[in-house]
Amino acid sequence: MKKRILLLAGGQSGEHEVSLMSARSVLSALPRDQFDVTPVVISKQGRWLPPTETQRALESGEAPTGGDLVLHRAASAEGYDAVFPLLHGPMGEDGTVQGLLTLAGIPFVGSGVLGSAVSMDKVMTKQVLASAGIPQVAWALAVRREWQTQPDTVRERAAALGYPLFVKPANLGSSVGISKVARPEDLDGAMTLAFSLDRRVILEAMTAHKPREVEVGILGNDAPIASPVGELRFDADFYDYETKYTEGRASMHIPAPLSAEVAEQIRTLALRAFRALDCAGLARVDFFYVEETGELLLNEVNTMPGFTTTSMYPKLFEAAGLNYSALVTRLVELALEDR
């Protein structure tokens, strides 16, 4: 019997369009002799679109308004064997949709509520990884109300980290709302931007030198495997939104030119992080490698990484001998696995 798969795409975050691109790739890659796939696009307003509107959104890359409330449509997800929540960012990758699917009793691809929620939040991720002894940059948390009522205590925290530093909303992706702050005078603007997007903001020390950015894919549930290591190169001060999504601004190098020893260290740390965060199915673990000092610092864990045929995660496993179609099939198998 063919498995019935519900593919969720779009969603309410700033990564809506990225998700639609990934979904088009997954839709054409899931083998039709094994799977019967129904896509449902979630609009930016959080409504689940009926089939014709979903089709139109997938083709045009733009979600129309309208659609049904989440809870109403979730009930109709009941007839499916598994759901592939191909959603990035808040309200999709952060445990919310995973909670809904858990309540509905439907298996789904990727991490559960805990792993999704903790990995989405850059502060919680850092706390969990620190207790697992995984090296990271120095950081501090600031909450909106604190910034409004006692900004000087937050400024002191920033000064202790030293400039330049990075200011980021705790729960976002695609570099949205992230600033590199060169001087104390520029802190206010960066904080205002970050707090307009999240109640919690993370301040991060910058690595001592501009780091190399290396990434590794993890695949599996309780016996996960690591892909070869890949590297991103770009011509910009940091990997910001524009650099990420402008064609030709960044290049991928697989395998990353690294010593076998450093590559193995990256893979080992990534597997430890995946377990510490209780991730499942898949994750892309991103590191900073400071060549001058030999430091290897874990930057973040993405539980639903970009998933077009040319995205880093599928390319990493392709280098390991698993093509795109075999990879998505494996992810559905992992969702259906007894754990």
Annotated binding site for ATP: 122, 166-168, 174-175, 204-213, 299-300
89-118 residues in contact with ligand ADP (CB under 6 A) are: none
179-238 residues in contact with ligand ADP (CB under 6 A) are: 204, 206-207, 211, 213, 238
Contact in structure between 280 and 112 (CB atoms under 8 Å): yes
286-315 residues in contact with ligand ADP (CB under 6 A) are: 286, 299-300
Query: In the sheet that 281-290 helps form, which strands lie side by side, from edge to edge?
Result: 250-253, 225-234, 212-220, 281-290, 295-302
CA–chain centroid gap for 229, Å, is 17
Q: Min. distance of Cβ 5 from Mg ion in angstroms?
A: 25
Of 102, 317, 104, 297, give the one whose Cα is nearest residue 204.
297
140-179 residues in contact with ligand ADP (CB under 6 A) are: 166, 168, 172-175, 178
Name residue 327's amino acid: L
Per the annotation, the verdict on 311 as an active-site residue is yes
Beta strand ranges found along 43-147 (DSSP E): 82-85, 139-143
The CB-nearest residue to Mg ion is: 173
Cβ closest to ligand ADP, residue 286 vs residue 318:
286
Catalytic residue among 19, 116, 119, 311: 311
| Three-state SS at 118 | helix
How many C-beta atoms lie closer than 10 Å to residue 73's C-beta?
A: 17
Catalytic residue among 111, 174, 179, 227: 174
Q: What is the DSSP string of 55-74?
A: HHHHHHS---S--B-HHHHH
Q: Where does this chain touch Mg ion (CB under 5 A) — which range of 79-87, 96-104, 133-141, 298-306?
A: 298-306
Q: Min. distance of Cβ 289 from ligand ADP in angstroms?
A: 11
Cβ closest to ligand ADP, residue 71 vs residue 182:
182
Cβ closest to ligand ADP, residue 35 vs residue 166:
166
229-288 residues in contact with ligand ADP (CB under 6 A) are: 238-239, 286
| Bond preceding residue 164 cis, omega within 30 of 0 | yes
Per the annotation, the verdict on 15 as an active-site residue is yes
How many C-beta atoms lie closer than 10 Å to residue 108's C-beta?
A: 26
Of 83, 96, 110, give the one whose Cα is nearest residue 171.
96
Contact in structure between 154 and 194 (CB atoms under 8 Å): no
Residues 6 or more apart whose CB falls under 8 angstroms from that of 315 comprise 230, 252, 254
Query: What does 213 interact with, of ligand ADP, Mg ion, none (CB < 5 to 8 A by kind)?
Result: ligand ADP
**What radius of gyration, in Å, describes the C-alpha atoms of the chain?**
20
Measured CA to CA, the distance from residue 171 to residue 106 in angstroms comes to: 26
15-34 residues in contact with ligand ADP (CB under 6 A) are: none
Query: What does 207 interact with, of Mg ion, ligand ADP, none (CB < 5 to 8 A by kind)?
Result: ligand ADP
Among 95, 173, 224, 305, the residue binding Mg ion under the rule CB under 5 A is 173
Q: Which residue's structure tokens are 């689940």?
A: 48
Q: Min. distance of Cβ 168 from ligand ADP in angstroms?
A: 6
Catalytic residue among 13, 15, 25, 215: 15
Per the annotation, the verdict on 174 as an active-site residue is yes
The number of residues in the chain equals: 339
Query: What does 137 interact with, of Mg ion, ligand ADP, none (CB < 5 to 8 A by kind)?
Result: ligand ADP
- Residue 238 C-beta-side C-alpha neighbours within 13 Å: 20
What residues are designated binding site? 122, 166-168, 174-175, 204-213, 286, 299-300, 302
Interface positions with Mg ion (CB under 5 A)? 173, 300, 302
Interface positions with ligand ADP (CB under 6 A)? 137, 166, 168, 172-175, 178, 204, 206-207, 211, 213, 238-239, 286, 299-300
Task: Provide the annotated active-site residues.
Answer: 15, 174, 311
